[in-house]
Structure 1
């Protein structure tokens, strides 16, 4: 299933071909086949290359064939895409559930995902060739997806079924302020609050302990302590009439 084939049938717009290539590449898929597109040279069309945005290699390896039968050569399991279930034909599935079931088989099949024309979708004949119909769960009052959007959603669901990719998380390089630094900040801030008349030292009303708890929850960094002490310093300058 890593080598799943994405097949676009009678595609009209070059931009959708490029956007499809991009959607495939970000999810780690590379096998793109076009069946009788509107323009025979669509893979080298300027708009297709522009919309591929870094996935030009997918376009370079893609193939254009004349019939769906040619496009399905070597495929074991075919999934058609349709917005609504058909009265006759293969069963309709939610994509993620079906992909997970296929990936769990002892020997996962070589998969093909079929996408119809932007103008009229998939023909009944093409749907009848398929083992399953995929219906992306959408709002019941409006389920129309752009071609490349549909490709992106299915490519994502398929990648998740295959284990997904790890998130490239970046851990910020921060130095947490120690308890002594926080206490120094509190003392400085207390003096500044008294200077501007916000804190009455004769009736503090637990203001400073509450700020202490706030700073503890925030887990201040050393840089943040410096910033807050700088603010306290400016408060004191203003209250004394000194130039900032």
Structure 2
């Protein structure tokens, strides 16, 4: 008996391919990296553990991206993983002596986006944690993406590499809008700010910081400070709460 997919996959031009992964946690973390960038198709080539998609570490590291694991496929070869793909992008730290051109993701991926928008499928291929991709596997691809890193140490965890490529690809496809607060905080009225200022005047006199006989310009300066701050009503309540707490701890406070 098969269970119906509760969330059908929309048209997605992207395929993430992981070759000979060793650690189940990396598979789960890669699935999570994909999900946050809206990528849905994951294919594993000869993983170390045939049951990697259901192992405890995999599911734990997926952290809410179990649907990616449910849809993922395991195949025996890179050729099988790239079936139906129009453009394959290898990933490697350093360029190879012979093979496809090497490019930075941010420079190259926008060039692929129009074809992907037209329905052509793009695959991003990642090698194993220990050995990366072989020369033959890199040559199976049309471009080699190299993430610009600090020259003396460019080693990235597999899931980190997937996250970076997925982020750059999502930007190239148009990105997602930044979600802003739906309701702006309510601005304090002038009388509420004045009430807070008067509250603090009494507290400052109580603790001996303000001499009512020679106030100088302390209160006008505080007025300017509060005006510049553009206080919200909540912030006014906080200031008055602090004033009450200070007044309650001074020796001259009424018992």
> Which residue number corresponds to residue 17 of structure 2?
7
Q: Does 1:217 align with 2:228?
A: yes
Q: Does 1:100 align with 2:110?
A: yes
Structure 2 CA distance for aligned equivalents of residues 226 and 65 of structure 1:
62
Consecutive unaligned residues in structure 2, runs of 5 or more: 1-10
TM-score, length-scaled by structure 2? 0.87
The offset of 1:85, in angstroms, is: 1.3
SS at match of 1:204: coil
Q: CA RMSD of the aligned region, Å?
A: 2.1
> Is the CA contact 2:13–2:120 (under 8 Å) kept in the aligned structure 1?
no
Counting matched residue pairs gives 243
SS at match of 2:27: helix
TM-score, length-scaled by structure 1? 0.91
Q: Does 1:17 align with 2:27?
A: yes
Structure 1 CA distance for aligned equivalents of residues 61 and 240 of structure 2:
50
1:25 to 1:233, Cα distance in 2 relative to 1, 3 A:
closer
> Which residue number corresponds to residue 140 of structure 1?
151
> Is the CA contact 1:102–1:109 (under 8 Å) kept in the aligned structure 2?
no
> Is the CA contact 1:3–1:30 (under 8 Å) kept in the aligned structure 2?
no
Structure 2 CA distance for aligned equivalents of residues 167 and 127 of structure 1:
35
The offset of 1:46, in angstroms, is: 2.2
The offset of 1:99, in angstroms, is: 1.1
The offset of 1:175, in angstroms, is: 2.6
Structure 1 CA distance for aligned equivalents of residues 82 and 159 of structure 2:
20
> Is the CA contact 1:9–1:116 (under 8 Å) kept in the aligned structure 2?
yes
